[in-house]
Structure 1
Amino acid sequence: MKRSRFSEEQIIAILKEHEAGMPTADVCRRHGISSATFYKYKAKFGGLDVSEARRLRALEDENAKLKKLLAEAMLDNAVLKDLTSKKW
């Protein structure tokens, strides 16, 4: 998945500008993002602090690593079952 060109701190700063009363269209134009991207950021990072956003990113990375390890283990298990089920 493509990484965002904005860090968590920058995304939260963009959302705080909107919360301060700046219209959505102006915030999007000022930072060069689409309104869909803005609302995606708002859904993901709305109401979070910078430290919470960093923790969220760390948990997502850890979760992705664990999913990859599980998929590899399941593949190895399937290969071993396939080999042992065949009659020599």
Structure 2
Amino acid sequence: MAKSFKTVPKKRTPSPEQVEAFVSGGAGTDKQDDEPVKRVSIDVRESLHTRFKVACAKTRSKMAPEIIAFIEKRVIELENEAT
């Protein structure tokens, strides 16, 4: 027997914030000035990885941009220490 809907599902329109989050986190948006990209692979304890992933999910941020932001900040700190 076929199911019938009594009401049509509502079309959900994303909020401007959701659209911006999608656009800024979409594929290919991490390229800056077409500079070549290098991949970094590190081993992390499973518990730390899980904590980081959960923290990013709670703030609705992606892991990679958070790691890049940390590296950029730390590089500046290290460069200042060297001078």
TM-score range, shorter chain: 0.3 to 0.5
- The two structures have a TM-score, normalised by structure 1, of 0.32
Structure of greater Rg = 1
- The two structures have a TM-score, normalised by structure 2, of 0.34
Greater RCO, 1 or 2 (C-alpha within 8 Å, sep 6+):
1
